[in-house]
């Protein structure tokens, strides 16, 4: 499973998303778009959004911190 979380330094929802994934013991790559221009470009290409968090789970994009969507994608990926 491949998980990327696009964040910024001042985003409280990003922190919540990372803590949630940590609580589920999900490994992820964090891309801080406030420090990484190419990461920001990658995020906009994938999601069409400039706001964070954006979570990419195996190519499925979630904009914002949506536990239900995260759980749905994680359970689908874990059962395969």
Question: What is the pairing mode between strands 54-57 and 29-32?
Answer: unpaired
pTM reported for the whole predicted model = 0.91
Using left for φ > 0, alpha for ψ between -120 and 50, and beta otherwise, residue 7 falls in beta
Is it true that domain 3-78 has CATH number 3.40.30.10? yes
Locate the domains of the chain by residue range: 3-78
Q: What is the pLDDT along the chain (80 residues), one digit of tens a residue?
A: 999 999 999 999 999 999 999 999 999 999 999 999 999 999 999 999 999 999 999 999 999 999 999 999 999 754 33
């Amino acid at each position: 499973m491949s998980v990327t979380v696009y964040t910024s330094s001042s985003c409280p929802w990003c922190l919540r998303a990372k803590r949630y994934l940590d609580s589920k013991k999900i490994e992820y790559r964090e891309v801080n778009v406030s420090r990484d221009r190419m990461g920001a470009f990658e995020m906009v290409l994938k999601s069409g959004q400039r706001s964070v968090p954006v979570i990419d789970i195996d190519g499925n994009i979630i904009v914002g911190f949506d536990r239900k969507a995260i759980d749905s994608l994680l359970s689908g990926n874990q059962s395969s």
